[in-house]
A and B are shown apart, each in its own frame.
Chain A
């Protein structure tokens, strides 16, 4: 691996601006290539990361994305943790509904991203922030 992304050593990208969202996409792409996700799976993962990174920036007021490669013994995968210390999500069920938006978007960010990955885990507390963990496994 020449990308410097090793199993267990996460790379962290701060999300403070528009350009950072682009950097998150590129970091996720390199990592996905390194663990040999299929082209379609790479595309799904990068798209999901793009949605969530933008959410972190717009709704969370900025934060970070931590990208690491993981293994469950049989398969390898990419795990990304998006964390912010923003206002949190008051009604999670509502936020995960297709078409629901408070930011004037299409409302596909959270629900769409969830469909694009294998594991989706979300923790949120009002006034404390939001932490979303996604994983995509190689087939």
Chain B
């Protein structure tokens, strides 16, 4: 069975799905990712689906589950690179991917994660009454 590689870049885990995943591979990815979040202490997960030519209800559910699991583990998940044809199909299928944040590409996804981390820092900083230099 193929395994989807998980890369660590700074404070972010990057998963770039390059293969047509079997359901087993998808479940395996879900488990691997949870372990890696805990092991690395990363606070952001980016799942790049640029190469996926379809997302069916199973993969859609996997993405939702990953987002929920990482939230519990204090990490933000952003799904990036969804193709237009895939998005149109998902709308028709009736899958709304609730609770998943999305961005057009990896770069935007990283900005999104950085921005939400900065917000959290701002809040923490405000409590202590100090200035931070976080930028969005």
Contact = CB atoms under 8 A, between A and B. Distances in A.
Instruction: Please classify how large the interface on chain A is, using the bins under 10, 10 to 19, 20 to 34, 35 or more.
Output: 20 to 34
Contact of B57 (A26, A40, A109): A109
A47 interface: yes
B94 A43 contact: no
A46 B22 contact: no
B81 interface: no
B114 to A, nearest CB: 32
Interface string A12-44: 000000110110011001000000000110111
A108 B94 contact: yes
A18 B24 contact: yes
Contacts of A29: 53
Given A54-B23, A106-B60, A112 B95 contact: yes
B92 interface: yes
Contact of A98 (B24, B89, B94): B94
A117 B56 CA distance: 14
Contacts of A22: 20-22
Most-contacted residue by chain B among A42, A105, A108 (CB, 10 A): A108
Contacts of A108: 57, 93-95
Contacts of B93: 47, 51, 108, 112, 115-116
Interface string A98-114: 10000001101101100
A106 B85 contact: no
Given A44-B88, A115-B94, A116-B92, 14 more contacts: A25-B20, A29-B53, A40-B88, A43-B53, A46-B54, A47-B54, A50-B56, A50-B58, A51-B93, A105-B57, A108-B94, A109-B57, A112-B95, A115-B93
Interface of A: 18-19, 21-22, 25-26, 29, 39-40, 42-44, 46-47, 50-51, 54, 98, 105-106, 108-109, 111-112, 115-116
